[in-house]
Amino acid sequence: MKKNVVERVSKIFFRAEKEGRNFLLEPEVYELLKTYGFGLPRHVFLKKGSYPAAGLLRKLGSKRVVVKVVSPLILHKSEVGGVMVVRATAREVKAAIKKMEKEVPLKFSRQVGGSRKPEEVAESIKGFLVVELVEFEQVGFGSELLLGLRVSRDFGPVVTFGGGGLDVEYLNVHLKEGSSLAILPVTGLAEKKVLSRLEPLAVFGKVAREFRGRKPLVKAEELERVVKTFQQIGKDFSPFNQHSSFTVEELEVNPLVIRQGRLVLLDGLARFSRNKLTFETRSAAQMQKILEPQSIGLIGVSEKMNVGHIILNNIIKNGFNRENIYVVKPGLETIEGCRCFPTVSDLPQAVDLFILTLGADQVYPVMKELVEKEKAHSVIIIAGGLGEKSGTKSIEEDIRSLLSSRKKEGKAAPVINGGNCLGIISVPGKYDSTFIPEYKFKRPEGISAGLAIVSQSGAFMLSRMSTLDRFEPLYAISVGNQLDLTVGDYLNYLKDRPEVRIIAAYIEGFKPGDGWKFCQAAREAVKAGKKVVVYKSGRSPEGRQATASHTASVAGDYAVAKSLLLQAGVMVAETIKDFENFIKALILLEGKKVKGQRVGLISNAGFESVIMADNLKGEDGCLSLAQFTPETEQKIFQALQPLGIDRLQDVHNPLDVTPMADDAAFCSCVEAILADEQVDGMVVSCVPMTAALQTLPPGEAHKENISAEGSLASRLIKIFRESDKPLVVNIDAGRLYDPLCDYLEKSGLLVFRNCDEAVCFLRKYLSWQGN
């Protein structure tokens, strides 16, 4: 049955292609969707020069009809008078057709500034579509729906569903994220999860649930059915599907309306192509050559200190064996204790990794020699500026052509990282190929976190490593322009490395189709128990203007990326700070169990209790205040009673213990709340200026000691380590209290400096971990 459907739809595309079109006329869109089981309005297509008989119009079953011009030139018909609503009589329909035949060519010609002559437009008219005027449920917002399918450059085919009609862009801007439009992949999302992606939509609640005593207008299963049907169309005509000749680039129904519990399409458009995407599978052995090489070659190393020489020094200082480092340097026998060779051809063996540090204009000749002489299994190209011209093609294109030719001939070709990259740091590979001097960049050390960083920007990578200097990554990979190896390739390899537990990626743009590859690898990584964090930049709206449909304008590139990454189990950071905090949390809270979104909040300042409660809800998730059990309330009461605080404050959540609470009372309350079975996570916030708490290191003016047994910090560290629940700490004070924060962080606690930031973070973390 499926094969028959695909064959029938392919014939529609063949006919359009034969006429020189890469899009379907509206009658053809009707035909396509009918083949897939969609409900259509009753309609008739009249070829140019023909008019309907009264009997034919009566079969449409409505007193009034919609007459639409059908032309391959005219996509937005209503803007040029190409749509008219008239009574369903032969005379009025004929008059409407004649009126449009006369006026539409003139209006369209004026609209396009005379680039199309009226005679040319008139000649393009194929005929007219006469459609029943559908009487559908009029409920204001939600009366008209949008259902779309389009091929994202990064992720392949995606399906969108939400409110439609003329207000679609307005609704998308003014409704909060996640409630205006659902964006779904055509593969990789379990069927049972489709409905869960539709339920948060505002329009879903309006039409598929009871609304102010009115029964649902349509069953939820019917909405689910049409979305799944579009997913199937996306699969059948995917750019990744090599079994079908065509790719559906864009398919949209807007509006889709409800009539007697069934969905009926009114207007539709479709574009298609023969574009297909193929992926090269990178073997683990290939990736291991670049990340864990047994031999390294370099070119561009000067006797004086230059980029190449800095890289050589960094490699040596990371413990790589000098005997397995080969430098292409004519006129010298050795440099820094490593052997030198006059040319690439003179290298004694094919090295696992070759690092090319020459200027852009010298890259291609060296690459050509490396490839043709088979002297490298992998290459890192440091140089930027590879987009400059070499003949009629860019240097990058020259290199891609070189690799492609070798592979077509069945010959070996290296994998390439870069260009325009900062290099790679590999702890397992015992090398650092970045060109930052050691005295300018202190390598992170301390906690070995099973962390791998993959970044399109080398500067971003080093900045994050400098900020998170307590956490030593196993790998830090600057991919640069992704001339060959992509972020998807690296994730696909790292997901299978047992020593890697957390993968953090900074991505400005995916190579065509690599977003799909990245999501596939992310699902597998998450399924294997790994965590994936992404900060995606390049969020500008310009790409939304590249299409005639509403689907792309409301489902822009970043919206698609964020939605699909989240559905793949990725933690998507909206800010750089979030990105850093997520990485820290995944390291420091590793092993903590997330069972829900019920939180306990405690502070010694009233303002913090109010502000923390204000930040329980956001577009990225929702926390609820845990209801303490009577046993917990009694423990808190007993902790506060000796200090008389019980007479000042009631026991509730958030709990304000006042500045009178000392180390023991404060931490006894923390311990009681965290142990409560109703509490899933906790924010412990402290304004440390009170004399009742030990919050300073030893000093001449006081007897406090943050590391003393019984101090606030020592007690919190013990509570944190003995609990399996996530707990974060906030210290709302300035530099005087940096030692307290440092002591807590070095002991493994996640510390914030503003209470709202702490709650917002825990909200995002628990919501993501709970999905």
DSSP letters, 97-130, are HHHHHHHHHHHHHHHTTTSS-HHHHHHH--EEEE
pTM: 0.89
State the pLDDT at residue 174.
42
For 660, the token pair is 């009178």
Which tens digit of pLDDT belongs to each residue from 375-422?
Answer: 999 999 998 777 655 554 588 899 999 999 999 998 989 999 998 999
List the beta bridge partners of residue 341: 328
The predicted structure's pLDDT at residue 315? 96
Binning pLDDT at 50, 70 and 90, where does residue 284 land? Answer: very high
> What confidence category does residue 219 fall into, taking pLDDT thresholds of 50, 70 and 90?
very high
**Using an 8 Å Cβ cutoff, are 633 and 650 in contact?**
no
Token digits for 186? Answer: 């055509």
pLDDT band at 291 (very low <50, low <70, confident <90, very high): very high
Placement of tokens 């070829």 in the chain: 47
Determine the Cα–Cα distance for residues 85 and 96; give it in Å rounded to an integer: 9
Tokens (6 digits) for 768: 């993501």
Q: Note the pLDDT tens digit of each residue in 439-474.
A: 888 888 878 889 999 999 999 999 999 999 999 999
Does pLDDT of 226 surpass 80? Answer: yes
Q: Is the pLDDT of residue 21 over 80?
A: yes
For the ranges 254-268, 314-328, 533-547, the maximum mean pLDDT occurs at: 314-328
* Predicted local distance difference test score (pLDDT) of residue 138: 67
Angstrom CA distances, 639 to 484, 511, 642, 646, 688, stand at 62, 59, 7, 9, 19
Q: How far is CA 687 from CA 139, 659, 671, 711, 754, in A?
A: 52, 8, 18, 15, 10
Identify whether the C-beta of residue 296 lies closer than 8 Å to the C-beta of residue 312: no
The helix-helix angle for 576-588 and 755-770 (nearest 10°) equals 70
Instruction: Provide the pLDDT for residue 83.
Output: 95
pLDDT at 384: 75
Please give the single-letter amino acid code of residue 181: L
Pair of tokens at residue 528: 């294997």
Mean pLDDT (the chain) is: 90
Could you read off the pLDDT of 176-194 as tens digits, one per residue?
555 567 888 888 776 678 9
Check pLDDT > 80 for residue 438.
Answer: yes
Q: Which two tokens stand for residue 103?
A: 């006026």
Predicted local confidence at residue 459, as pLDDT: 93
The pLDDT of residue 647 is: 85
pLDDT confidence bin for 556, thresholds 50/70/90: very low
Orientation of helix 576-588 relative to helix 458-467, angle to 10°? 50
The pLDDT value given to residue 388 = 52
Q: What is the pLDDT of residues 472-502, one digit of tens each?
A: 999 999 999 999 999 999 999 999 999 999 9
Q: What angle do CA 703, 704, 705 make, to 5 degrees?
A: 125
**CB neighbour class for 254 (10 Å; exposed up to 12, middle 13-18, buried from 19):** buried
Q: How confident is the model at residue 546 (pLDDT cuts 50, 70, 90)?
A: very low
* Residue 541 banded pLDDT, cuts 50, 70, 90: low
What local confidence, expressed as pLDDT, does residue 178 receive? 56
pLDDT of residue 60: 93
Confidence of residue 164 (pLDDT cuts 50, 70, 90): confident
Name the nearest CA neighbour of 637 among 657, 618, 607, 614: 657
Element (DSSP H or E) covering residue 554:
helix 550-554
Convert 608-620 to b/e letters by CB count within 10 Å (16 or more is b).
bbebbeebbeeeb
Span 121-126, average pLDDT: 95
Average pLDDT over residues 225-231: 94
What single-letter amino acid sits at 160? T
Residue 331 CA, distance from chain mean position:
50
Among candidate residues 447, 453, 445, the one with its CA nearest the CA of residue 426? 453
In this prediction, what percent of the chain has a pLDDT beyond 90?
A: 75
Strand partners, 573: 535
Confidence band of 171 (pLDDT split at 50, 70, 90): low
Mean pLDDT score, 53-78: 92
**701-753, pLDDT tens digit by residue?**
999 999 999 999 999 999 999 999 999 999 999 999 999 999 999 999 999 99
| pLDDT class of 261 with cuts at 50, 70, 90 | confident
